[in-house]
Structure 1
């Protein structure tokens, strides 16, 4: 191998490692749900190249409303999947879509876009 091939190979491996770290191991923004006067826990989530916040903490046994605001037209973010709660929602661009659920079991429940590239989690305590 000549010098150029070594440089390209090392740069490619470095970029692949960065992508793996970014999507699977980087720190995620965490938010706790705020209870309204009616006892419903609410969180607003911005969808733009990912979920912000991407980790939401809620209390078990209390109703939850997740308000997803999709701030883009990227086709990857047009669908929300929460398989543990049997939820599939279309997220229209530049609109807020409320998702209501009642978590009965403590644990960590993943949610993704339809393609599985955008990831978030609901942590039930």
Structure 2
């Protein structure tokens, strides 16, 4: 191997390491739900190439309202799945869809698009 092959190999490994860190190991900001006067925890989530915010923290035993605004027409984001709560909803483009649930158990509950490519997490404390 000559010097240029070694440099390209090292650069490739460094780039692969960065990709793994960015997508799987980096910490994501957590959005806490805001409680309304009626005691409902509410979070606005924008769907555009992913969920923003994609990590949402709520308290158990209190009703939760997730407001999903789909700001795109990409077919991947047209369906929302919350399997742990038996929720499957269509998300119409450029409209807000309300998802209401009552988390009784603490834990980590994932939500995805219908294809499983877009991912988010509901953290119940």
TM-score range, shorter chain: 0.7 to 0.9
Q: Is the 8 A contact 1:29 1:52 kept in 2?
A: no
Q: Gapped runs of 5+ residues in structure 2? A: none
> Number of matched residues?
124
**Map of 1:25 onto structure 2:** 25
Cα drift, residue 19 of structure 1: 4.8
Secondary structure of 2:76's counterpart equals helix
**Counterpart-to-counterpart distance in 1, 2:106 and 2:93:** 32
* TM superposition score normalised by structure 2: 0.84
Cα drift, residue 58 of structure 1: 0.4
* TM superposition score normalised by structure 1: 0.84
**Map of 2:52 onto structure 1:** 52
Change (3 A) 1:57 1:74: same
| Alignment RMSD | 2.0
**Map of 2:77 onto structure 1:** 77
Cα drift, residue 69 of structure 1: 0.5
Secondary structure of 1:28's counterpart equals coil
- Residue deviations 1:16-43, cap 9 Å, x none? 5555444433332311001111111000
Change (3 A) 1:97 1:12: farther
**Map of 2:66 onto structure 1:** 66
Change (3 A) 1:118 1:14: farther
Cα drift, residue 10 of structure 1: 7.1
- Residue deviations 1:69-123, cap 9 Å, x none? 0111111111111111011111111110000000000011111111111111000
- Residue deviations 1:38-77, cap 9 Å, x none? 1110000011111111110001000000000011111111
Q: Gapped runs of 5+ residues in structure 1? A: none
